[in-house]
Amino acid sequence: MLALAAAGASALVGVANPMHAVAVTFAVLMALGSGALGIAHAAAAHRARLGGLTRQFGLAVAIAVGQMLVAVAVIVELMFVSNHDALLISVIALFTGLIAIRAAHLLARGVMDDVDALRAGLSAVAEGDRAVEIETGARDELAELAQRANLMVERLAAEEAARDGAETARRALIAAVSQTCARRSPRCGCWPRRWETTSSTTPPAVAIWAR
């Protein structure tokens, strides 16, 4: 892909320049592109050391801006561009890079806000809150992840409600059976058992056991 991009850019240069300029442009673009992509691959392999998304986006923009500035310097040396033109191109490249860094910062801030919303919502769920609804500010993969998290919370709340209802029903059934047995129902086949008490003011306790 890098070779195709460099060949396409060199072909555009060849429209108004001799073949020497095309060859030089291709060689420069291949060298710069290989270096920039090498740095990018190395950064991606050690992404855990870079920190947050804002810093990662900033590094990507810095690689692109540095590539442009190096390209300007190389072209000035190889193609005899005037110092005035070289300075103008460098200033434009630097200004474009600063705008790109700011744009990347704004995008990264929005992404980080969505990540913080996901983190806060999942932390609340872990603490027992089941009324959490996670919302994000965009329609992207993070929004899809937030939607799936909301569905997970709803399903978890429903399962817990069903479990609590079953536990309540079980306790009610045990209480009903205990009351029936306490009345010495012959159908139940349960009989009271007397327990001695140490206090005369405390009524004797009755325990139920099956024959």
Q: Specify the pLDDT at position 198.
A: 46
Domain total of the chain: 2
Q: What residues contact residue 13 under an 8 Å CB cut-off, 6+ apart?
A: 21, 22, 25
Q: Specify the pLDDT at position 26.
A: 84
Pair 101, 135 in one domain? no
Q: Specify the pLDDT at position 194.
A: 47
Pair 19, 90 in one domain? yes
Interval 181-201: pLDDT, tens:
776 555 555 544 444 444 444
Task: Return d(Cα 195, Cα 192) in angstroms, integer.
Answer: 10
User: Which residues are bridge partners to 210 per DSSP?
Assistant: 190
Pair 28, 94 in one domain? yes
Closest to 105 in 3D by CA, of 56, 50, 172, 177:
56
Interval 24-66: pLDDT, tens:
778 888 888 888 888 888 888 887 787 777 777 778 888 887 8
Pair 81, 145 in one domain? no
**pTM for the model:** 0.54
Task: Return d(Cα 52, Cα 122) in angstroms, integer.
Answer: 19
Q: Specify the pLDDT at position 187.
A: 53
Pair 24, 88 in one domain? yes
Q: In which residue are the tokens 């744009």 written?
A: 103
Structural domain contains residue 188: yes
Q: Specify the pLDDT at position 208.
A: 43
Pair 101, 139 in one domain? no
Interval 154-181: pLDDT, tens:
999 888 888 988 888 888 888 888 877 7
Structural domain contains residue 16: yes
Structural domain contains residue 198: no
Structural domain contains residue 62: yes
Q: Specify the pLDDT at position 135.
A: 87
Q: Specify the pLDDT at position 19.
A: 82
Q: Specify the pLDDT at position 209.
A: 41
Q: In which residue are the tokens 């310097």 written?
A: 73
Residue-by-residue DSSP string for the chain = -HHHHHHHHHHHHHTSS-HHHHHHHHHHHHHHHHHHHHHHHHHHHTGGGT-SHHHHHHHHHHHHHHHHHHHHHHHHHHHT--HHHHHHHHHHHHHHHHHHHHHHHHHHHHHHHHHHHHHHHHHHHHTT--------SSSSHHHHHHHHHHHHHHHHHHHHHHHHHHHHHHHHHHHHHHHHHHTT-TTTTEEEEE---S-TTSPPPEEEEE-
Task: Return d(Cα 92, Cα 80) in angstroms, integer.
Answer: 19
Angle, CA of 16, 2 and 86, to the nearest 5°: 45
Question: Which residues span the domain enclosing 67?
Answer: 9-105
pLDDT at 6 over 70: yes
Q: Specify the pLDDT at position 81.
A: 62
Task: Return d(Cα 102, Cα 176) in angstroms, integer.
Answer: 70
Interval 75-125: pLDDT, tens:
777 765 666 776 777 777 778 777 877 777 787 788 888 888 888 998 998
Pair 89, 134 in one domain? no
pLDDT at 140 over 70: yes
